[in-house]
Structure 1
Amino acid sequence: MQILLVEDDSAIAVGLKKLLMKEDFVVNCVATGQQAINQVLISLPDIIILDVGLPDMTGIEVLKKIRALHAELPILLLTARDEIKDKVEGLNAGADDYLTKPFDIDELIARLRVIERRLGTVKNSCIQIGAIILDIEKHEVSIAGALVELSRREYMLLKALMERAGHVLSKEQLEQTLYGWGEEISSNSIEVHIHNLRKKIDKSFISTIRGIGYSVKKS
């Protein structure tokens, strides 16, 4: 799940990015409203976390501009304001949710998980296909009840494929799921992760669609 964090306070942005990455989100950061709009035009994230207080325009203005481009893109507002009218303005402008600073990181993660479940095929905290169960809340994968030890990126890759079971995901889509801006990506990184996953789970679970990408079958 790729998040675009729009926050002009670098300390807050760095701290949030580190905490969210620990929860297996891929986080990219920008500091202005115009940068956020430009990024949405270039490459659409899965979720936007948008600070209301930005240096070049208000978060509400950014929200309205992005809504005109993408009506369904989930946007969560961060605001230091505690007045009801400001929250109502944000929701009326198209925000999916909001948090007032200071906020508890666990509450932010919980709200992001709700949006994440709404976006994908996941209806609860677990995805099960055959004997393989992926628990989003616990960050665990098990086969027939036995836990399987996966690296962070192996888990993220398997999660992306299981969430979109029945669909083919290209190498480029999977790279966007696993890596943020500026991270070094070797030319065969996805192939290596797929190879390692196949050794740890059923070899036939992940199918290669030659020239297109990878997929897993629906249960």
Structure 2
Amino acid sequence: MQQRYRRKVVSSRVRRKRFSPFMLIGLSVPVVLTLIVSTVFILPRLGSRAAAVNGDCTLIVPSNPLSAQGLATPYQLVATDPANGACNESNKVQAAFVQGAVIDPATGQIYIYNPLVIDQGTQPAATPVVAQLPANGIVALWFGFNGNNLTLQGSNGSLEQGRCVNGVNGSIFGQFAYCNAPAFFKAANNAMRAGLLNAPPL
């Protein structure tokens, strides 16, 4: 009797340790379905959103960009190729900026004025303030871009008026451009030699 009882106990323990293949299938099915849904529906949407960001934008330079009125006129951002998607200043990966500086040759004083950038076809939330430029002040502009390539587009000869440089030999710089920078630095160097301007050490 004791031997039979021991055999029953051992056999019952063995039965408890057996793992049903149906249980494995039941656990695997939800995992597989989740992977399929992620691959078919979620990943393509994420990829399409990433591909929709256009990295090449154009900045329309207003007329007479080195004048007080030109500085107060908003620059307009637009897609270089609309087929690649729109460009929006509010999108941090497409944002462009313009920084202006004015040097007074008589005093060596430098003033900073940052023109506004808006999307083409929109209006600024507030009217930009018109700068009061010093007599014979020399204005220069520098452009930056968070995307891949920023192209400057003139309006009514603005690129020639501002002596703007977007690249060399038909190839644009990419994320950088400037207007009238050589004249500004020449005036700054003259002011330094005259003791009117002290540049901080680098």
* Greater RCO, 1 or 2 (C-alpha within 8 Å, sep 6+): 2
Q: More helix per residue: 1 or 2?
A: 1
Do these two structures clear the TM 0.5 threshold for a shared fold by scoring above it? no
TM-score (norm 2): 0.29
Higher Cα radius of gyration: 2
